[in-house]
Structure 1
Amino acid sequence: MNLRQKSRTTSAILTFLFGPLGVFYSSAAGAIVLILVALVSAGTVIGPVLCWIAAIIWGDHTVRRHNESVDRLLNRPLDDDGDGPQ
């Protein structure tokens, strides 16, 4: 496991600009799933749009989870909202 924190800002920018491709920053498996769903639903407009929105949410969620895991492994206390050291 990578013991470096990931940036939520970087994740947000990448997923906003590149959608499911931007999720590769935080989760390769998540990116592949979203890309496949977007391709399967490419015949409709709503499918890829929903995948794009899901990518932004998924990217932020996985970065937060990763950072919490790193903090736990390094025995750092979490702040009140649970997203990093105090």
Structure 2
Amino acid sequence: MSQIPVQTVIVARTKSVALSLILTLFFGPLGMLYSTIWGAVVMIVLSIPAFIITFGHAGFIVWPVSMIWGAWATHRYNQRLLYRAGL
């Protein structure tokens, strides 16, 4: 009697790039927690002294960088997920 190999199926949802952009638009580096935890930690750690030194004006650089990084990380996550699925 031969055994039939068991096929494992892993179900994972893709992340929304639009939602990532909206979250980072409203919450800045905290919104990056949706797309990349390490990226969010890095941006939060870097932005706190930047905000203190520039009296809050660093937000004009931190917010767009957070949005770009979050969207890129979400896109990259989706690409890796689809690559692993063989699509």
Confirm or deny a common fold (TM above 0.5).
yes
- Partner of residue 51 from structure 1, selected from 36, 47, 62: 62
Which structure would you say has the larger RCO, counting Cα contacts within 8 Å and 6 or more residues apart?
Answer: 2
CA distance in 2, matches of 1:8, 1:23: 11
One of 13, 31, 36 as aligned partner of 1:4: 13
TM-score (norm 2): 0.79
Uncovered stretches (5+) of structure 1, i.e. residues with no partner: 77-86
- % of aligned pairs identical? 33
Q: CA-to-partner distance for each residue in 1:2-53, whole Å, 9 max, x for gaps? A: 8320001110110111010000000011001101111011120442321111
Deviations, residues 44-70 of structure 1 (Å, cap 9, x unaligned): 044232111111000000000000001
Q: CA RMSD in A?
A: 1.4
Larger radius of gyration: 2
Could you tell me the TM-score, scaled by structure 1's length?
Answer: 0.80
Runs of 5+ in structure 2 lacking a partner?
1-10
Number of aligned residue pairs: 75
Aligned equivalents of 1:29, 1:67: Cα separation in 2: 17
Instruction: Write the distance in 2 (CA, Å) between the matches of 1:46 and 1:75.
Output: 45
